[in-house]
Amino acid sequence: MSEVARKPSGLTRNLTAKIASIPMIATALVIFIGCTIWTIYHSFTRSRLLPAPDKWVGLDQYERLWSTRRWLVSIENLAIYGVCSLVLSLLIGFTLAALLDRKIRGEAVFRTIFLYPFALSFIVTGLAWQWILNPDFGIQSVVRGWGWEGFAFDPLNSAEIAIYGILIAGIWQGSGFIMVIMLAGLRGIDDEIWKAARVDGIPTWKTYIFIIIPMMRPVFVTALVLIAASIIKVYDLVVAQTAGGPGIATEVPAKYVIEKMFQSQNLAQGFAASTMMLVSVLVVLIPWAYLEFGAKKHG
């Protein structure tokens, strides 16, 4: 640091500010960089119950990971859940925001209703929907009670569609948040645009699709990044709603990692799996950061 001493005081300049920033600096360096590197390094070792930095095994853990059925199911579930929740959240979020933006009465009430699930935890969300989707007492039994005896809707106990049961709950919890972001974006659109479109006789739906949505590109990108970041973290919801079942039908990567690390004493497997999670985040994040920050520099 001594070479920064352009001014006479050098390192001691803003000393109080530097001391006050120690927690932030420590978090950035030790936790976000240090711990991440530590985990990536140990994913190349044979750590089991304890970290074993000297037992280097190269890519073995990754080979094992990608030949474990449970991990493959987790990835498949994450892909299904991810794509569906991305599309549905954006669609529902934008549609609701557009409806609320039509200068309707009771907007605040509707907004409150759509957003309140976002204040609830995934545990509460999962348990509530576990109960509603309960085959003996929930929706299925109620519809049968109405006289439709053959009605079958039991996603949480049917392996092929169990992940969609979780999707229903996930959308319920998070779509209101996307609506709020979209609504903020819509409010940022100049009224002149609407007036011009009306003067030109463009139908409302066309104005949305061809004028408003392209103008809201940054809002959509932000929503996309936020949804993507939340998808990869899905853990509590699955634990509460299905505990990964039936069988391994609703396993997700985050759950695989936690169980390998803290239950099956197979640390390095957990490290390798969590490194794969990090890689998938980077795949989303790097293009976004490039578009968001890189593009601006070039004008």
CB of 21 to another protein, least distance (A): 5
Q: Which residue's CB is nearer to another protein, number 57 or number 139?
A: 139
CB of 210 to another protein, least distance (A): 20
CB of 84 to another protein, least distance (A): 16
Q: Which residue's CB is nearer to another protein, number 166 or number 257?
A: 257
- 90-149 binders of another protein (CB under 8 A): 96, 99-100, 102, 104-106, 109-125, 127-132, 134, 137-139, 141-142, 145
Q: How far is CA 295 from CA 74, 108, 224, 288, 298, in A?
A: 35, 37, 18, 10, 5
Residue 212: phi, psi to the nearest 5? -70, -50
Q: Which residues contact 32 (CB under 8 A, 6 or more apart)?
A: none
Rg of the chain over all Cα atoms, to the nearest angstrom: 25
Euclidean distance between CA atoms 219 and 182, whole angstroms? 7
Residue choice 57, 211, 235, 248 for contact with another protein (CB under 8 A):
235
Q: How many residues at the interface with another protein, by CB under 8 A?
A: 96
From the CB of residue 295, how many other CB atoms can be counted at a distance below 10 Å? 9
87 binding another protein? (CB under 8 A): no
Q: Which residue's CB is nearer to another protein, number 66 or number 131?
A: 131
Return the structure tokens found at 108: 């605040």
Residue choice 64, 86, 236, 248 for contact with another protein (CB under 8 A):
236
C-beta of residue 155 within 8 angstroms of C-beta of residue 133? yes
- 254-283 binders of another protein (CB under 8 A): 254, 257-258, 261-262, 267, 270-271, 273-275, 277-278, 281
Euclidean distance between CA atoms 294 and 299, whole angstroms? 9
Residue 45: phi, psi to the nearest 5? -115, 180
Q: Tell the residue number behind the tokens 């996603």, with chain if given.
A: 155
180 binding another protein? (CB under 8 A): yes
Determine whether 54 is exposed, middle or buried from the number of CB atoms within 10 Å of its CB (0-12, 13-18, 19+).
Answer: exposed
21 binding another protein? (CB under 8 A): yes
Nearest residue to 74 (alpha-carbon basis) of 223, 235, 272: 235
CB of 208 to another protein, least distance (A): 14
C-beta of residue 129 within 8 angstroms of C-beta of residue 168? yes
CB of 126 to another protein, least distance (A): 8
Euclidean distance between CA atoms 79 and 257, whole angstroms? 17
CB of 172 to another protein, least distance (A): 7
C-beta of residue 56 within 8 angstroms of C-beta of residue 65? no
CB of 60 to another protein, least distance (A): 19
217 binding another protein? (CB under 8 A): no
203 binding another protein? (CB under 8 A): no
Residue choice 27, 76, 247, 265 for contact with another protein (CB under 8 A):
27
Residue choice 72, 161, 202, 285 for contact with another protein (CB under 8 A):
285
Q: Which residue's CB is nearer to another protein, number 161 or number 226?
A: 226
